């Protein structure tokens, strides 16, 4: 298969397998989504969803969160890991949203990425899922999948994002990145598939004999 044929197969099959793509992180607003995505760094979505109810019961908007002591935030989010860094970021970004953005999450990449604890991937998720802006958030797992399926030659998530945006129509990006995640978690996991095991890998590369060594 050519790269274009592989991309067409992936797009068609992911749509067949996952016609509905609910956002894995529980949230009620662009702000709660932002906080949930921030907490999901090096943490599972399932664990984030067990932590955020208590956090959002305490404060579910920037104005209220800005008043909560950092130590109180840290105590609640400790199960998510990196709690000192994440609690400080949540507190500081909440204050910035109040002071600089009228208490609203800005629908702007530059403004989002200027917030403490918010990188390009987090900003991309918020822009895509909260505001409907075409984006293709790429985490380490999507990066690995794209390499296994030879949709990218990128050595990092930045290069892979560019390749995936070129490989797929813009109108599919927001849904497709979630479909990648769903398939990866169910079939092409880091431990469960090395590029030779899951259905996609076997179909796309039936003659592949050796494990794929992904570039990080």
Convert the pLDDT of each residue in 8-47 to its tens digit.
999 999 999 999 999 999 999 999 999 999 999 999 999 9
Which of 129, 150, 174 marks a domain boundary?
129
45 as an active site residue: the answer is no
Cα distance between residue 47 and residue 24, in whole Å: 11
Tens-digit pLDDT profile for residues 35-88: 999 999 999 999 999 999 999 999 999 999 999 999 999 999 999 999 999 999
Written in H, E and C, the secondary structure of 167-180 is HCCHHHHHHHHHHH
Tokens of 213: 């060594």
pLDDT band for 191, please (50, 70, 90 cuts): confident
Which of 62, 94, 129 marks a domain boundary?
129
DSSP letter string, 105-166:
--S-HHHHHTSTT--HHHHHHHHHHTT--------HHHHHHHHHTTS---SSHHHHHHHHHH
Neighbours of 120 (CB within 10 A): 16
CATH of residue 112's domain is: 1.10.340.30
Give yes or no: residues 124 and 140 share one domain.
no
Give yes or no: residues 9 and 84 share one domain.
no
Which of 109, 129, 149 marks a domain boundary?
129
Give the total number of structural domains in the chain: 2
Cα distance between residue 43 and residue 83, in whole Å: 11
pLDDT band for 131, please (50, 70, 90 cuts): very high
The verdict on residue 213 lying in a domain is no
Q: Which structural domain, as residue segments, surrounds residue 99?
A: 30-129
95 as an active site residue: the answer is no
pLDDT of residue 47: 97
Give yes or no: residues 38 and 125 share one domain.
yes
Q: Which listed residue (64, 74, 102, 139) is catalytic?
A: 139
- Which pTM value belongs to this model? 0.92
Residues 117 and 152: beta-carbon distance below 8 Å: no
Neighbours of 28 (CB within 10 A): 10
Q: Which listed residue (86, 121, 163, 194) is catalytic?
A: 121
pLDDT of residue 216: 64
The verdict on residue 210 lying in a domain is no
The verdict on residue 212 lying in a domain is no
CATH of residue 153's domain is: 1.10.1670.10
Give yes or no: residues 66 and 109 share one domain.
yes
The verdict on residue 215 lying in a domain is no
The verdict on residue 176 lying in a domain is yes
């Amino acid at each position: 298969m050519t790269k274009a044929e592989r991309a067409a197969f992936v797009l068609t099959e992911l749509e067949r397998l996952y016609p509905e793509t609910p956002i894995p992180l529980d949230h009620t607003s662009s702000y709660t989504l932002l906080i949930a995505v921030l907490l999901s760094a090096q943490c599972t979505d399932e664990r984030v969803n067990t932590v955020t109810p208590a956090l959002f019961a305490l404060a579910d908007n920037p104005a209220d969160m800005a008043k909560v002591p950092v130590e109180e935030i840290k105590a609640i989010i400790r199960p998510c890991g990196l709690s000192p860094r994440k609690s400080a970021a949540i507190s500081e970004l909440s204050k910035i949203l109040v002071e600089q953005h009228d208490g609203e999450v800005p629908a702007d990449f530059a403004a989002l990425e200027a917030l403490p604890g918010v990188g390009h991937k987090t900003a991309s998720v918020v822009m895509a899922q909260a505001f409907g802006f075409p984006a293709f958030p790429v985490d380490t797992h999507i990066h690995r999948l794209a390499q296994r399926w030879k949709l990218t030659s990128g050595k990092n998530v930045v290069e892979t994002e560019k390749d995936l945006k070129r490989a797929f129509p813009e109108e599919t990006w927001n849904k497709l990145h979630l479909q990648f995640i769903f398939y990866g978690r169910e079939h092409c996991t880091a431990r469960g598939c090395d590029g030779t095991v899951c259905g996609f890998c076997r179909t796309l590369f039936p003659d592949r004999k050796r494990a794929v060594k992904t570039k990080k």
